[in-house]
Structure 1
Amino acid sequence: MSRTVFAGGSVFDGTGAAPAEADVVVEDGRIVDVGPGLDGDRVVDCTGATLLPGLFDCHVHVTVSEIGLLPRVQKPFSYQFYEAARNLWTTLKLGITTVRDAAGADLGIKQAVDDGLIPGPRLQIAIGLISPTGGHGDGWMPSGHCVPLSLPHPGRPDAKADGPDEMRRVARTLLRAGADVLKVCTTGGVLSPRDDPRHSQFTLEELDVLVTEARMQGRAVMAHAQGAEGIKNAVRAGIRSIEHGIYLDDEAIELMLVNGTWLVPTLVAPVNVIRAAEQGASLPDAVVQKAREVVEAHADSVRRAVAAGVRVAMGTDSGVGPHGTNLEELELMRSCGMSPADVLVASTSSAARLLGMDGDLGRLAPGHRADLVVVAGDAYDFPALAGNVREVWQDGVRAV
């Protein structure tokens, strides 16, 4: 097989070490060597650039492109799948080569990427959002109409559950449909107009059943969790990651440290709800008010979690905000006390560890899959990073 050498640049290897001058050699889709003065059959000139591992976004919704109520009911059902193809391509162009879809994408979308039918980041999928009746994932409106972000269909079964037995059935149904991870709402949320982000949803008994079902199939659980009590219920049940974490208290942070629970902050999500409202999106007043209320509490919670040493992985909730703006999250993470190197670690090797992919992805190291991003200028200049992405490679093949 021919060897490709990425030569003349600096390398951020994903460990948190400062970028250092080095070459990277790729053969048969894998990195085979990293170091100075390497050679190969083909040279990619990286002079003046920094090489990063392929980036991760651990919380996206690729079938969601806008959050206003009217577009949801006006678009033909199948339109979401074409939007998903566009959203995946838009995300890949940022250097994000792996995503975890937190409800919406089904097995067909994942397989279309895996088979090369459409370009995009490789996917882990949750398929559905497990919610109780009246919970964050229940799209019921006072009119009696139900307008969820994602309608059930044969590849995306209904995920509402009440009680341990229904939780078991829904978990097994989603796993049968191809879920790589199960996602559950343990609190209310911002986009659900008739619940409160601080209030808990699901009992510990229900969550224990969910985690047991997931573990029997070698899967993890991620929790939409914003209020402190719902966060603590999720952690006590053994859920692997807390998504959002808006109202963390000291006990929740301590529990996360003791249990090794991950935080995926999605700091940009409430900011994007406010932006959407300002741009005329058809959102209930209660949703916009909640978004305005949570922004500062959210940032404060993440600051305290970071200072305490909670494990953090990058995620954006893209779909709530525009796909293609994902890298805005990096500067928000830095504003919460993370060093630039730690932000990139959270977006590479730490994210890979959260997703169980750290043996293959997240680092520029021999044996790892050759996902590489060539970035002009300063890789720590996060506001400029999206515009500085020169090339994106997946498994040793140039994708962008």
Structure 2
Amino acid sequence: MTRTLFTGGHVFDGTGAPPQPADVVVEEGRIVAVGTGLDGDDVVDCTGSTVLPGLFDCHVHLMVNGLDPEGWRATPFSLPFFQAVHTMRATLAVGITTVRDACGADLGLQVAQQQGLIRGPRTFLSIEQLSQTGGQNDPWEPSGCLSPVFVPHPGRPDGVVDGPDQARRKVREMVRAGANVIKIATSGGVVSPRADPRAAHFGDDEVAMIVREAAAAGISVMAHAYSAEGINIAVRNGVRSIEHGYFLDDEAIDLMLDRGSWLVPTLMAGPGTLRAAAAGMSVPEHMLANAKLITEASMDSVRGAVAAGVKIAMGTDTGVTPHGQNLDELPLMAACGMTHAQVLHAATLSAARLMRLDDELGSVEPGKRADLVVIRGGIEPDGMADRVVAVYQDGELVHQRATTGG
């Protein structure tokens, strides 16, 4: 059995300790030792670098490439599946070895990655977002036409539901289709053609039913929620994580603290949409207006949550923004009052805890799967993607930055 030794650098182990000089030994895809003066058969020289746990992104859309409804309508149905091969590689290349797809990807994408047919982060699925009629995921346009972001198919059922009975059945359909988490929308959002992001959606009875049915299947619920009341409806009925949370108020923050809920801020989504529009992408006026609205509100909301001690896990809404730019989220989190170590913890062990994967992933500790990222320099979040040297998944080198000779 070959022992691979990562030596000569610092290790940020993800447990909350600052980076320390240390070696890491990997054997058969697992970390077997962390310390100083260790030995191995194959040596990876990490001099001048820091070894991190594999990073998480708890909110991506692997089947989307920008907010471009006109482009969506002109895209052949199967093309996004082929494009996802490249989006997954781009995600892996910045050190993200695990993602939670927040709707769009189906079971085939997950299985293809598991079987090694495509290289990418291990992917956990929500399949499709559940929303009420007239809500975030209702594709109805004023003309009466339907313009869904994701066209329903046998592996991706439609997500519009009303009432507890429909909600119960739809959760069961998503579980049948392979969902590892149930995604709901308790407010409108940027893409909503007919829904105000500041309005609350779904009633307590509907959300309670969704959470109950998900729990019966052994999985949790994540809620797209911008508005304070939409957040409150989700949290008081047992939703595990609030996605976005752009209009948090003190009541919502207190409730999240009381219930132990997580916040996945996705701070880069609004500014990224505005940059895409400025660069010439055809973003509809309602999406542009909503993006401006959330960009102005999001930083203050997340600052309040950070100061209060709400649990934070890293997520980006990538797909809305270009794939491979996920780590642009990290300096935005730091600007909300998180230390560099807290930012990286949110992208490693905190994220693993949110996804209930912390027994296997999220930290550099003996016994855990050897998902490792080697970066030049220290853990400062600015420009981290450009400093990724190598990415390992279960001990296998899955990405290495190309070097040029002189």
TM (normalized to structure 2)? Answer: 0.97
Q: Does 1:214 align with 2:232?
A: no
Give the superposition deviation at 1:290: 1.7
Report the counterpart of residue 44 of structure 1 in structure 2.
Answer: 44
CA contact (8 A) 2:341 2:379 kept: no
Report the counterpart of residue 171 of structure 1 in structure 2.
Answer: 171
Give the superposition deviation at 1:282: 2.2
Q: Does 1:259 align with 2:259?
A: yes
Q: How does 1:25-64 map to 2 (within 5 A)?
A: 25-64=25-64
CA contact (8 A) 1:67 1:149 kept: no
**Letter paired with 2:393:** Q
**Letter paired with 1:394:** Q
Give the superposition deviation at 1:101: 0.1
Output one character per residue of 1:272-329: Cα deviation in whole Å (capped at 9) or x when no partner.
Answer: 1111211222222121112112212111010000000000000000010000110000
Q: How does 1:133-282 map to 2 (within 5 A)?
A: 133-282=133-282
Aligned partner of residue 58 in structure 1, secondary structure: strand
TM (normalized to structure 1)? Answer: 0.99
Give the superposition deviation at 1:16: 2.1
Structure 1: distance between partners of 2:21 and 2:158: 51
Report the counterpart of residue 364 of structure 2 in structure 1.
Answer: 364
Report the counterpart of residue 80 of structure 1 in structure 2.
Answer: 80
Aligned partner of residue 109 in structure 1, secondary structure: helix
CA contact (8 A) 1:193 1:284 kept: no
Structure 2: distance between partners of 1:396 and 1:172: 36
**Letter paired with 2:92:** L
Structure 1: distance between partners of 2:293 and 2:4: 51
Query: Percent sequence identity over matched residues?
Result: 56
CA contact (8 A) 2:186 2:200 kept: yes
CA contact (8 A) 1:87 1:323 kept: yes
Give the superposition deviation at 1:360: 0.4
Greater shift, 370-379 or 303-312, is seen at 370-379
Give the superposition deviation at 1:191: 1.6
Aligned partner of residue 327 in structure 1, secondary structure: helix
Q: How does 1:98-113 map to 2 (within 5 A)?
A: 98-113=98-113
Report the counterpart of residue 383 of structure 2 in structure 1.
Answer: 384
Q: Does 1:116 align with 2:116?
A: yes
Greater shift, 311-320 or 12-21, is seen at 12-21
Structure 1: distance between partners of 2:134 and 2:307: 35
Aligned partner of residue 133 in structure 2, secondary structure: coil
Report the counterpart of residue 310 of structure 1 in structure 2.
Answer: 310
Aligned partner of residue 137 in structure 1, secondary structure: coil
Cα RMSD (Å) of the superposition?
0.8
Structure 2: distance between partners of 1:277 and 1:250: 33
Output one character per residue of 1:240-297: Cα deviation in whole Å (capped at 9) or x when no partner.
Answer: 0000001001010000001000000000011111112112222221211121122121
Give the superposition deviation at 1:343: 0.1
Structure 2: distance between partners of 1:86 and 1:144: 35
Report the counterpart of residue 97 of structure 1 in structure 2.
Answer: 97
CA contact (8 A) 1:227 1:247 kept: yes
Give the superposition deviation at 1:353: 0.3
Structure 2: distance between partners of 1:112 and 1:18: 37
Structure 2: distance between partners of 1:27 and 1:287: 49
Structure 2: distance between partners of 1:65 and 1:360: 31
Aligned partner of residue 326 in structure 2, secondary structure: coil
Report the counterpart of residue 23 of structure 1 in structure 2.
Answer: 23
Structure 2: distance between partners of 1:147 and 1:325: 27
CA contact (8 A) 1:374 1:390 kept: yes
Aligned partner of residue 211 in structure 2, secondary structure: helix
Aligned partner of residue 184 in structure 1, secondary structure: strand
**Letter paired with 1:375:** I
Structure 1: distance between partners of 2:244 and 2:260: 16
CA contact (8 A) 2:5 2:26 kept: yes
Structure 1: distance between partners of 2:119 and 2:74: 27
Structure 2: distance between partners of 1:375 and 1:319: 24
Q: Mark the runs of 5 or more structure 1 residues left unpaired by the alignment.
A: none
Q: How does 1:311-350 map to 2 (within 5 A)?
A: 311-350=311-350
Structure 2: distance between partners of 1:384 and 1:128: 33
Output one character per residue of 1:94-140: Cα deviation in whole Å (capped at 9) or x when no partner.
Answer: 00000000000000000000110000000110000101111001111
Give the superposition deviation at 1:390: 0.4
Greater shift, 187-196 or 216-225, is seen at 187-196
Give the superposition deviation at 1:190: 1.5
Report the counterpart of residue 397 of structure 2 in structure 1.
Answer: 398
**Letter paired with 2:72:** R
Structure 1: distance between partners of 2:193 and 2:382: 32
Aligned partner of residue 151 in structure 1, secondary structure: coil
Q: Does 1:3 align with 2:3?
A: yes
CA contact (8 A) 1:16 1:344 kept: no
Structure 2: distance between partners of 1:202 and 1:350: 28
